Amino acid sequence: MARPVEAGFKGARRRLVETLQDKGIKDLGVLRAIDLVPRHLFVPESTRHRAYEDAALPIGAGQTISQPYVHARALELLQLRGAEKVLEIGTGSAYQTALLAELAAQVFSIERVPSLLDKSRALLAELGVRNVSLLLGDGTLGWRDFAPFDAIVVGAGAPRVPPALEEQLAEGGRLLLPIGDRDEQVLAVFTKVGGQLERRDITPVRFVPLIGAGGWPPG
Ligand code: SAH
């Protein structure tokens, strides 16, 4: 991260890391990324003082930045080692995008709301994050030009696995997807083994709906 860190926020961020450790997050790479990425810059100014609480916050356009614990748990499940090519659906605030940029080689992230994508593009440039490519569009269709992906992480809830995402996942790759109904889901991790997805359910979650051809209809 190119921007100098403000001292007050640094202390708050360290305390958040400790909170996440207390809640059972063990992956040192994930904890380090959370210690590095300035979450207060990814939330609206009016909620900046709450940026390092372990809580979800509104980010505009009816969307939310997830609770840090949820991001940490999701990233831990991906077991990234640094060399991976990752696809993210639902850039939102780009906070998780910035965490992924610390944990993987290349990140491709798709967002359907133009105002959120514009903000994310400006912030990631300002922070000097270079290994992220952003796309405006329907992420349920994936990003065919750069497939296959070693990991795919979906930041919105879907009724089923979007077929394009299944196709674009590499053999041995992991797909993380909140799956269920429109307002309650289970966080599931799918691993592609012999061309088939093996599913493991992790925990009940509440994500905003994944809107698109392979997700829910708008409205
Ligand atoms: N990880 C993000 C989560 C944002 S909320 C963060 O912490 O900030 C989920 C995001 O998914 C929203 O911004 C929403 O607009 C976006 N989204 C929903 N359906 C989508 C789709 N089909 N393609 C791309 N983005 C989508």
Interval 208-219: pLDDT, tens: 999 999 999 997
Give the separation between CA 195 and CA 135, rounded to whole angstroms.
27
pLDDT of residue 125: 98
Beta-bridge partner residues of 67: none
Is 156 touching ligand 1 by the criterion CB < 6 Å? Answer: yes
Q: Using an 8 Å Cβ cutoff, are 5 and 128 in contact?
A: no
Is 116 touching ligand 1 by the criterion CB < 6 Å? Answer: yes
Determine, yes or no, domain membership for 2: no
How many angstroms does the Cα of residue 117 sit away from the middle of ligand 1?
Answer: 10
Told to judge if 120 belongs to the known catalytic residues of this protein, a careful annotator would answer no
Average pLDDT over residues 76-92: 97
User: What is the layout of strands, in order, in the sheet containing 106-111?
Assistant: 132-136, 106-111, 85-89, 149-154, 169-180, 185-193, 196-205
Q: Which among 46, 66, 93, 115 is annotated as catalytic?
A: 66
CATH assignment of the domain containing 21 = 3.40.50.150
Q: How confident is the model at residue 159 (pLDDT cuts 50, 70, 90)?
A: very high
Q: 100: which 2 tokens? A: 């992924």
If you average pLDDT over every residue of the chain, what do you get? 95
Give the separation between CA 45 and CA 186, rounded to whole angstroms.
31
Amino acid identity at 52: Y
Determine, yes or no, domain membership for 171: yes
Tell me which residue range forms the domain holding 193: 7-205
CA nearest 210: which of 140, 144, 129, 119?
A: 140
| Model confidence, pTM | 0.96
Determine, yes or no, domain membership for 123: yes
Is 113 touching ligand 1 by the criterion CB < 6 Å? Answer: yes
> What is the total count of domains within the chain?
1
Determine, yes or no, domain membership for 219: no
